[in-house]
Amino acid sequence: MSRDIVVNSEDEIELYIETVNHQGEGVGRYRGMAVFVPFTIPGEKVLVKINSVKKNFAQGEIVEVISLSEKRIEPRCPVFETCGGSKFQHMDYGLQLELKKQLVEDSLKRIGRITDVEVKPVIGMESPWGYRNKVQFQVNFTDGKIKLGFFEEGTHVLVPTTNCHLLDEQVREIASFVEALLNKFKLSVYNRETEEGLLRYVIIRKGWFTSKVMVVLATSGEKFPEAFVFARELRAKLPVVVSVVRNISQKPTRHVFGRETQLLSGQSTITDHIGKYIFAISPESFFQVNSRQTEILYEKALEYAALTGEETVLDVYCGIGTISLFLAEKARRVIGYEESPQAVSDAGANAKMNNVTNVEFVSGKAENRLPRLAERGFKPDVIVVDPPRQGIDKKALQAIADMEPARIVYISCDPGTMARDLQFLSYRGYRAVEVQPVDMFPQTVHVETVVLLSKVDK
């Protein structure tokens, strides 16, 4: 059957939504072809306009919901459909958790070919709103004013808003004030095409349990003579802001942060707690955006590590040492590896601040460092990994298997790359024993997952 016989662009079809995909879109089938429709819910019948047709699937948009799911609710944010950052806002939170569990199960089966492991129900939040302690705003000049907001998914079209309901309420209020202050000072906005202008991004971070706030202005290398005056006025009007920082990119880059950081007013870091530990957070530090769920996540990782006080633990992608300090309480020795030298420096400072002496931190890429450890015959008892979204490099994965730890605890923010990596380890003597998803990102399609892997006896 040829593609154009199935469905064409601009066609309107009736579609029954069966499930959701990993982009959060509803999935139905029309004459055997998968059709993806955002902002739909499994069980709904919808009238869909087809926007594009590919070889094996089509994409469409809702014209009308013919039969509503009882799980459909009114989204809080008026721009959530154009922003695209919280694609589950239109559905009941309990359903969100069920769908995220299914997405993890689907990745394990379809990508990892893993069918013999229990996926636990997702650990959700009592109040799944206002949980983000960090936000990165895009900046644009619109209708004669500087506007903060977010790019529409897949574009550079700004959706202006500082009132994202995923953000802590205090952060939203500060963002609104910062936007007004930027306009008062009439700062220029960076143009990606001409590579002219000053302001690139505005980042706001909050210590959830300390209520101290950092504001970062990410700029080009253009002169900013009003910088210190701007920072003083910001802190004078908002005393909760204890740190105002300028980060400078001298050359055009896709990265948010450049190599140079300038303290404009206050402290160079803010602090926050995870459990009984306190952490200093610098502008570029990776720190989980959902502080309330992070402790649950780390406690589960510690449970899976099953430490008795005699183990040597390797913490790969350790960041600023957050998980490492949790592990150190129950282990004999913890060694953390992290690519960023700044993060390693911060990790060491955090260990010292918390009087933790049985940890050490090493800078370097995992794919370079771990094979050398394996070649030297290093044999840790437990390895904990918390890689970025793209997962673990194959050289690093092979080195992990070669070191033959009794247990591996894999923390992931991407079920697809996690499943791929678990399959790799399953061929090298490891079995996934238990999978625990944790909802770190309510209202979005994303889910954090902790997996326990055990060495299989030969």
Active site (catalytic) residues: 413
Residues 119 and 433 sit within 8 Å (Cβ to Cβ):
no
Tokens 């004078």, residue located: 236
Dist CA 268 CA 281 (whole Å): 9
Residues 18 and 29 sit within 8 Å (Cβ to Cβ):
yes
**Which of 297, 289, 290, 287 is CA-nearest to residue 346?**
287
**Which of 357, 344, 399, 343 is CA-nearest to residue 374?**
399
Dist CA 396 CA 127 (whole Å): 38
Dist CA 87 CA 208 (whole Å): 25
Residue 195 region by backbone torsions, left for phi larger than 0, else alpha for psi between -120 and 50, else beta:
left
Q: First vs last Cα of the chain: how many Å apart?
A: 50
Residues 449 and 418 sit within 8 Å (Cβ to Cβ):
yes
**Which of 88, 95, 103, 89 is CA-nearest to residue 71?**
95
Dist CA 411 CA 318 (whole Å): 11
